[in-house]
């Protein structure tokens, strides 16, 4: 992986400065560079190696990779395919989402470490001369001239760096510095849950990826080959109470909920093996200012429900590239072009967040509060009994609302003047 830190310190000029090298930033960087636009991506970490991120590559993202001619290469990386998802309510298993009817090349979710995916995107993007990725460059401020954002200030190990560009895109995630510095108003939608993430080894014969719901407990188990990635849903801010009860009690409750793992729960040696995701659902009222746009989690932090966060961020990036590549290349970018990106992506964001909030409030929260044995909810019963209907949740989760297709071209880069 390149650290490209030799570019710092000093000042750089580019056409599009992207703050944050997550899924949104890397896909936007790749698409713009491919369309001949000069881009600089600034990523604050030294590498992409971060555990327990969105590791679910959905059919919509597989389709985008296919449209770019990258799918076969991507799927050479180690991954697990999930084409049906079920949940066990008490002792009753119920299938509820079937991806297998989608176009065969995209008829599954690929579970792949996010760092492998981001490394892959970085490698492919470097094939374009207009692409620069600078690692260990943390954006700390915006540069503003006459009410217009004209670049960013970043800190690097070599000292301060200024990147000047007609467009800055905040792809720096749900705690976005860019959106805070731009003073963009955030609508906090709230979430009644948090999630504890952990990994426990997986043995041959263990059950596949799926959910486990029982009295007071809601858990998702993701098959990651030789281990399970486990999402243990807790009430909002419930971590203190769980920690007070102690790790032994937590392991016991995990073993009770997942009996096939009971003999392995002591792989959780300390609380450091249990990572808290404080769930946030929010969105910006306006995603842009003159010279600045936010996309991905920086524009709308997503709940982990449905594992759609990465995919929605990538859909934003595809839409942004489709709309912006030409005005960026021709030097005709206006604030109206930025408004078009928000206009295009607001509906999918709102509908997806609405469904996530419904699932959190109507399903997850009542399960966590339950004290009596649970019945399989009528909707799940219906889905379980009617395989054809299982295509609907697969469509919503896997493809999403208003799927984007790559329309930006592959052109040689335009040198920066
Ligand atoms: C624990 C956890 C589990 C999740 N599970 C799932 C899942 O299973 N499936 C799913 O689809 N989604 C999941 N999500 C959500 C998903 O990871 C995000 O929705 C998705 O990654 C958003 O992509 P993004 O590119 O907008 O932002 P991020 O992925 O947050 O990327 C932002 C990038 O910007 C960098 N950055 C931040 N600040 C700065 C700065 N000031 N300067 C420079 N760089 C900066 C960060 O280091 C990061 O690389 C999960 C999130 C978490 C935290």
Q: Which residue stretches of 279-334 are H helix?
A: 309-330
Give the C-alpha separation, 188 to 219, whole Å.
25
Residue-wise over 346-355: b if at least 16 C-beta within 10 A, else e? bebbeebbeb
pLDDT value of position 9: 55
**Measuring from atom 26 of ligand 1, which residue has the nearest CA?**
296
Which of 58, 283, 313, 315 has most ligand 1 atoms within 8 Å of its beta carbon, as the pocket-test mutant? 313
Backbone angles phi, psi at 97, to 5 degrees: -140, 130
Which of 310, 319, 349 has most ligand 1 atoms within 8 Å of its beta carbon, as the pocket-test mutant? 310
pLDDT value of position 52: 63
The rounded Å distance from CA 297 to ligand 1 centre is 7
**Measuring from atom 15 of ligand 1, which residue has the nearest CA?**
309
Give the C-alpha separation, 173 to 315, whole Å.
15
What tens-digit pLDDT sequence spans the chain (417 residues)? 334 444 445 999 999 999 999 999 999 999 999 999 999 999 999 988 876 677 899 999 999 999 999 999 999 999 989 999 999 898 899 998 999 999 999 999 999 989 999 999 999 999 999 999 999 999 999 999 999 999 999 999 999 999 999 999 999 999 999 999 999 999 999 889 999 999 999 999 998 888 889 888 899 998 888 899 999 999 998 999 999 999 999 999 999 999 999 999 999 999 999 999 899 999 999 999 999 999 999 999 999 888 899 999 999 999 999 999 999 999 999 999 999 999 999 999 999 999 999 988 888 888 888 888 888 989 999 999 999 999 999 999 999 999 999 999 998 766 555
153 pocket-lining for ligand 1 (C-beta < 6 Å) = no
The rounded Å distance from CA 173 to ligand 1 centre is 5
The rounded Å distance from CA 178 to ligand 1 centre is 14
User: Whose CA is closest to 170, among 321, 19, 315, 290?
Assistant: 19
Give the C-alpha separation, 152 to 172, whole Å.
13
Give the C-alpha separation, 82 to 98, whole Å.
9
CB half-sphere exposure, 343, CA atoms < 13 A: 7
110 pocket-lining for ligand 1 (C-beta < 6 Å) = no
Give the C-alpha separation, 137 to 337, whole Å.
28
Which of 61, 173, 193 has most ligand 1 atoms within 8 Å of its beta carbon, as the pocket-test mutant? 173
* Minimum-distance ligand 1 atom for the alpha carbon of 296: 26
29 pocket-lining for ligand 1 (C-beta < 6 Å) = no
The rounded Å distance from CA 53 to ligand 1 centre is 7
Give the C-alpha separation, 37 to 411, whole Å.
9
Q: Which two tokens stand for residue 76?
A: 């050479």
Please, which residues have CB within 8 angstroms of residue 127's CB and are 6 or more apart in sequence? Answer: none
pLDDT value of position 14: 98
**Measuring from atom 50 of ligand 1, which residue has the nearest CA?**
54
* Minimum-distance ligand 1 atom for the alpha carbon of 316: 26
DSSP 343-407: HHHHHHHHHHHHHHHHIIIIIIHHHHH--SPPPPPHHHHHHHH-GGGGHHHHIIIII-SS-----
* Minimum-distance ligand 1 atom for the alpha carbon of 301: 19
56 pocket-lining for ligand 1 (C-beta < 6 Å) = yes
């Amino acid at each position: 992986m390149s650290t490209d830190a030799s570019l710092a310190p000093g000042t750089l000029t580019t056409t599009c400065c992207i703050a944050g090298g997550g899924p949104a930033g890397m896909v936007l960087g790749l698409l713009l560079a491919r369309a001949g636009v000069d881009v600089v991506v600034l990523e604050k970490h030294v590498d992409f190696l971060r555990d327990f991120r969105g590791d679910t590559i959905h059919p919509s993202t597989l389709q985008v990779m296919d449209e770019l001619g990258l799918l076969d290469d991507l799927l050479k990386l180690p991954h697990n395919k999930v084409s049906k998802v079920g949940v066990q309510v008490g002792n009753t298993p119920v299938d509820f989402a079937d991806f297998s009817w989608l176009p065969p090349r995209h008829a599954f979710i690929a579970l792949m470490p996010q760092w492998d995916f981001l490394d892959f995107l970085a490698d492919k993007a470097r094939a374009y001369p207009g692409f620069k990725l600078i690692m260990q460059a943390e954006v700390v401020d915006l540069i503003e001239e006459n009410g217009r954002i004209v670049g960013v200030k970043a800190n690097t190990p070599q000292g301060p760096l200024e990147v000047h560009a007609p467009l800055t895109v905040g792809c720096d995630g749900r705690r976005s510095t860019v959106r805070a510095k731009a003073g963009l108003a955030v609508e906090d939608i709230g979430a009644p849950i948090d999630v504890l993430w952990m990994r426990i080894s997986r043995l041959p014969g263990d059950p596949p990826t799926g959910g486990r719901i029982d009295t007071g407990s809601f858990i998702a188990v993701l098959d990651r080959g030789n281990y399970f990635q486990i999402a243990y849903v807790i009430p909002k801010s419930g971590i203190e109470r769980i920690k007070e009860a102690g790790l032994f009690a937590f392991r016991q409750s995990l073993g009770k909920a997942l009996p096939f793992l009971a003999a392995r729960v002591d792989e959780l040696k300390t609380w450091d093996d249990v990572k808290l995701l404080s769930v946030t659902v929010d969105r910006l009222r306006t995603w842009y200012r003159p010279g600045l746009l936010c996309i991905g989690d920086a524009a709308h932090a997503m709940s982990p429900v449905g594992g759609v966060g990465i995919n929605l961020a990538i859909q934003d990036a595809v839409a942004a590239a489709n709309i912006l590549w030409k005005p960026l290349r021709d030097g005709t970018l206006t604030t109206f072009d930025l408004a078009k990106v928000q206009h295009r992506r607001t509906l999918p964001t709102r509908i997806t967040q609405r469904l996530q909030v419904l699932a959190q409030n109507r399903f997850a929260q009542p399960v966590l509060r339950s004290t009596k044995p649970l019945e399989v909810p009528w909707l799940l019963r219906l889905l379980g009994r009617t395989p054809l209907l299982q295509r609907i949740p697969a469509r919503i989760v896997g493809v999403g609302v208003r799927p984007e297709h790559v329309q930006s071209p592959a052109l040689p880069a335009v040198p920066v003047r």
